[in-house]
Structure 1
């Protein structure tokens, strides 16, 4: 499928030209065709081992399992990674991922959610979904978001590898996938799967005897509300610890000309003011004009 045809089909008029870099161009072309791309062994194994240790630390000895079928009754999810560890920060900003986002999302796109997903033995297949389905906008269309899945363990057909329906990002609103139309994204640990918010997928069943661990980062168009409320999920006192680009993607930045201001203030100043508010008695009559410097 040509880039021109895809743009015509989904009114992707904001898309830039295809990247000059051969690797980035191939990534974009794969996503245009299939709705996803698998980047094998993108993360070195020594880093993957550190991520495994960090997941074990956060999980502890009594992990909470999913609260409903969508989360998975035998699946462990750790949400809001930005508030709990700095180990995953760099994986929100990988060059190949940002190059894809620069093509498929509009300027000023945000960070929607971060989490780890551990599918335990015996878990059933997750229900099929596409990540921006909550927008209820007619399809086919441009995606309202994108996502990556980082394989912390090898992804196999038996241990719950994410199942994706190739080409489903081009479907209309009425069509629904079947298990037979999906394929498991089999890949070694350290691989990264990138897919559009319009691509149908699900977590696969785990019929093996070991858990399958992964981490996900989700991004969203600048005009879409993030899945996870970053302002409440991450203690604002942690913002100085977090890379500036991520902080901006969390919503602590101004999208020109003025989207995101706080009482006329830069949102980072607004965050500091919130910390001060919560450490002081409620002011009965706040001043008409913000005076924080």
Structure 2
């Protein structure tokens, strides 16, 4: 009980900070040794992956996804209890369930230019200033400092302020290291900084979006059923092997989690997955139809 009470108070605290400022840094979430082990698991991918093409991704930056398939250690960060609690608190007003939008490892090499300031919610052409579509979580594998290109953020540039011009003077560069994490709303203006150091800045992003949106990373290609079957049911659901009511993301009219079962039938019976208000309306309509037939 005490754990749940303490977790709840932490979720309250950090959710409020995130919603007020548009970002927050939560310190000491995981042991540094766990982060170092994940970094080591991905070392070969960091080495072999070519530099990005295009100035937005960064021509001195390397990026790759599918981290849950590359290292089993990625799941501990993606499913961190406090982080998921904050994400649920922030996004739940607009969705039935939220989903993993992406996992992406990033290595910003010396000489990388500063990225253009942007808002990640702009990947979707939805209403600006009314809905929060996304929460991104940045997990550093090395120290993040202004000198090596740490993320620049513009506090209070989120929500309805996304419609307003933001003065350059309000820019902040949070500095933090492995074990801590930067949480940022999808409506917050931000950008990777220039790497003026001699070190590579490495880390990963785990992003979470409203469950009815098209994800940035195609989770079903990243984690097809043969891979998703090795995940816990909770992780499989987070990457999309569950429906968002009403019936969104279904397979043959069923929750896509059926694809993770052994002995899947050749034919499936489609089954309603409705919100309570929709079920009530459908049941009332059916009752009226029965009364009409009986008259």
1:103 aligns with 2:99: no
Q: How many residues align?
A: 260
1:73 aligns with 2:59: yes
Matched residues in 1 for 2:127 and 2:243: separation? 29
The aligned counterpart of 2:3 is none
Matched residues in 1 for 2:23 and 2:134: separation? 13
- TM-score after normalising by structure 2: 0.81
The aligned counterpart of 2:12 is 25
* Residues 134/56 of structure 1: CA separation in 2 closer, same or farther (3 Å cut): same
* Residues 264/22 of structure 1: CA separation in 2 closer, same or farther (3 Å cut): closer
Structure 1: runs of 5+ lacking an equivalent:
1-18, 277-286
Out of 91, 101, 121, the position equivalent to 1:132 is: 121
The aligned counterpart of 1:64 is 50
Does the residue aligned with 2:158 lie in a helix, a strand or coil? Answer: helix
The aligned counterpart of 2:232 is 243
RMSD between superposed Cα atoms in Å: 2.4
Matched residues in 1 for 2:12 and 2:239: separation? 27
The aligned counterpart of 2:41 is 54
Q: Is the 8 A contact 1:118 1:212 kept in 2?
A: yes
1:146 aligns with 2:132: no
* Residues 177/272 of structure 1: CA separation in 2 closer, same or farther (3 Å cut): farther
Structure 1 moving runs of 4+ over 6 Å: none
| Superposition deviation, residue 270 in structure 1 | 4.1
- In terms of fraction of residues, the more helix-rich structure is 2
Instruction: Give the number of the structure whose alpha-carbon radius of gyration is greater.
Output: 2
Q: Which sits farther off after the overlay, 245-254 or 165-174?
A: 165-174
Matched residues in 1 for 2:77 and 2:185: separation? 17
| Superposition deviation, residue 258 in structure 1 | 3.3
Does the residue aligned with 1:246 lie in a helix, a strand or coil? Answer: helix
| 1:158-237 pair list within 5 angstroms | 158-177=147-166, 179-237=168-226
* Residues 95/128 of structure 1: CA separation in 2 closer, same or farther (3 Å cut): same
Does the residue aligned with 1:232 lie in a helix, a strand or coil? Answer: helix
Does the residue aligned with 1:228 lie in a helix, a strand or coil? Answer: coil
* Residues 80/176 of structure 1: CA separation in 2 closer, same or farther (3 Å cut): farther
Matched residues in 1 for 2:197 and 2:166: separation? 25
